[in-house]
A and B are shown apart, each in its own frame.
Chain A
Amino acid sequence: MVPQTLRGFYELEKALIDLQGITKSFDGEVILDDLNLSILENSFVTLLGPSGCGKTTTLRIIGGFEKPDKGRVFFEGKDITNVPPNKRQLNTVFQKYALFPHMNIADNIAFGLRIKKKPENYIRDKIKYALKLVNLDGYENRSVESLSGGQQQRIAIARAIVNEPRLLLLDEPLGALDLKLRQEMQYELIRLKNELGITFIYVTHDQEEALTMSDYVVVMNQGYIQQAGTPEQIYNEPENAFVADFIGDSNIVPGVMLKDRLVRIFGADFHCVDSGFGENKPVDVVIRPEDVEILPPDDPKGILHGRMSHIIFKGEMYEMECTSSDGFEWLIHSTEMHEPGKEVALYVKPSNIQIMNKPASEDEEAIGVEE
């Protein structure tokens, strides 16, 4: 059930990057295990996962800084597995910017163009254009260390895009910035991507960032692709407990699929919209905290009963916990406040219940949820 390929997904369109059977280990520890991934031209794809999931290694293999032990890398159908990084039609924005500290901003941006022996007046125009694009006009003669982290990040992007790459690789480029600046840069990156029309592959461990910016999100854990899809698919229809747990808050509860479109959770029967799991099949059920509705205890719509146990005010909503009669603590997000101690009934709309297969083999267990 764990999907390791996006190929079906993109069937009709042209893949820019195609990773086939990529395996990589460091010091005997397997980082990537038979990874298959196609990335469409002109898309914003995010590799998302906890640290050590193999996302940065995947990026470095595409960039040419690591060689896979097994498997091939294709760029527009051409095998580039053994092509060194300086001969690839792509550029990288590194985690800590990696600007050249002994050069001023103009020379940093011009580096790639000078290597390609472009004429100086062409280079000057390009620098101007790139600085304008990242909103740093007039910074040509500044030194690297006189710039803030956010500005250095923009210069790193400018330095990459003047080379007109087909593909831009970004390795947690916003990781070192503070929250406000990060959000600004997220919009900046989306704007850049739309203006330039180049393919972005973005690596992050921040699920919110991934959902905000990407056309497609590839969720990775322990060297495997857990799920790939649009941000909506990833959030609303997580395919396994890891994805559900990693992307946003969620209630993951054991259930039994009684028949199509009916699931029993803690002895109560919920209507849902999933089918095809068989009858009386144990499953995992994902319910997002904002999808749990709190009703008065005598409301006939209520399916489970419980007592409110915790409440925290989070600004845009209250984060609450409700202990149902079987002892499970439901996480609930709502704009309405419900005092701890209050008896309530809980209800979930059928379309908000997401059914997942339980991990079947030990192998799949290994790639499951990290507590």
Chain B
Amino acid sequence: MKSKGTRYLALPYIVWMCGFIVIPLLLVLYYGLTDRSGTFTFDNVRKIMLAENFRPLYLAMGLSAVSTLLCFLIAFPLALILRSRKVGKGSFVAFLFILPMWMNSLLRILAWQTLLERKGVINGILSSLHLPEQHLINTPAAIVLGMVYDFLPFMILPIYNTLIKIDDNTINAAYDLGAGFRETLLRIILPLSVPGIVSGVTMVFVPTLTTFAISNMLGGGKVFLIGNVIEQEFMLNSNWNLGSGLSLILMVFIIMSMALLSRYDNGEDAIL
């Protein structure tokens, strides 16, 4: 009786998953592997080999890898500091870092646009100090800045969550056995936080690889990522087939990088 009841409980989720995940994916697969007339073809997928499509993919991988690395380098020490605080204070500091997540991400990127613009806030301050104005916006660096700023909390939270689960005495035991801070960090704390790091990397790498909004707003159309190419095919050229074909390629890259990551994760406490 009970098992029947629980089976029906899952029904809404199954309907949801079919309607909003499986069917759209199948549609992408269909469009990606057909031409406008509906005949089966690999042309759309093969077009990734064209420089105009390949270079944005290459650039997107590079920028999102750099952003992910930067996020990790900022987030890990921060999460360590948060962990070492007593609960009350720590959670307030954690709250400060999570706070930006409650704001629309586009709005936050828009704010950076205002700051970085040629006649923006930063250059305004520089010129009032009689310093040379800097070319800030529409550079890969500006996009990386936006990516790091936007996705940093997604790196901090999972790492912090695994760090607070490490027993104080496990760390004390390492010191007790003669390890200094560096050795304790490398041999105990870092290996034990791998599940959190894997989650964090996933949660930063995937959205930064596919973003088109950040590169639109901070790249000013001059820095073209794979996300922008796909968006353009759908919105501007109305070529759903090519857009879907390139999306499939992107998906393959994401699945490959996830598979690579999962080898480092014993799959216990990871969020994803």
Contact = CB atoms under 8 A, between A and B. Distances in A.
A347 interface: no
A313 interface: no
Contacts, number: 59
A86 B175 contact: yes
Contacts of B167: 96, 98
Pick the most buried of B169, B178, B180, B191: most chain A CB atoms within 10 A of its CB.
B178
Interface string B162-175: 00000101101111
B176 A92 contact: yes
B178 A65 contact: no
Classify chain A's interface size: 20 to 34
A102 interface: yes
B173 A100 contact: yes
Nearest to A156: B173
Interface string A73-85: 0000000000011
A85 B169 contact: no
Classify chain B's interface size: 10 to 19
Given A100-B188, A101-B192, A102-B192, A112 B170 contact: no
Contacts of B172: 65, 85, 92, 94, 98
A100 B170 contact: yes
Given A101-B192, A102-B192, A115 B179 contact: yes
A112 B178 contact: yes
B183 interface: yes
Given A91-B177, A100-B173, 8 more contacts: A85-B176, A86-B175, A87-B178, A91-B176, A111-B179, A160-B177, A163-B177, A163-B178
Given A96-B167, A98-B169, A100-B173, A86 B179 contact: yes
Contacts of A159: 173, 177
Pick the most buried of B167, B176, B188: most chain A CB atoms within 10 A of its CB.
B176
A112 B175 contact: no
Contacts of A96: 167, 169
B169 A94 contact: yes
B191 A102 contact: yes
A115 B191 contact: no
A100 B174 CA distance: 9
7 contacts: A84-B175, A85-B172, A85-B175, A92-B176, A96-B167, A101-B192, A115-B183
Contacts of A94: 169, 172-173
A92 B191 contact: no
Interface of B is mostly: helix
Given A102-B191, A115-B183, A86 B170 contact: no
Contacts of A92: 172-173, 176
Contacts of B170: 98-101
A367 B170 CA distance: 34
B159 to A, nearest CB: 16
Contacts of B178: 86-87, 112, 115-116, 163
A238 interface: no
A115 B184 CA distance: 10
Given A95-B169, A100-B170, A86 B192 contact: no
A68 interface: no
A160 B169 CA distance: 14
A223 interface: no
Interface in A13-40: none
Contacts of B169: 94-96, 98
A63 interface: yes
B131 to A, nearest CB: 46
Nearest to B184: A86
A160 B172 CA distance: 13
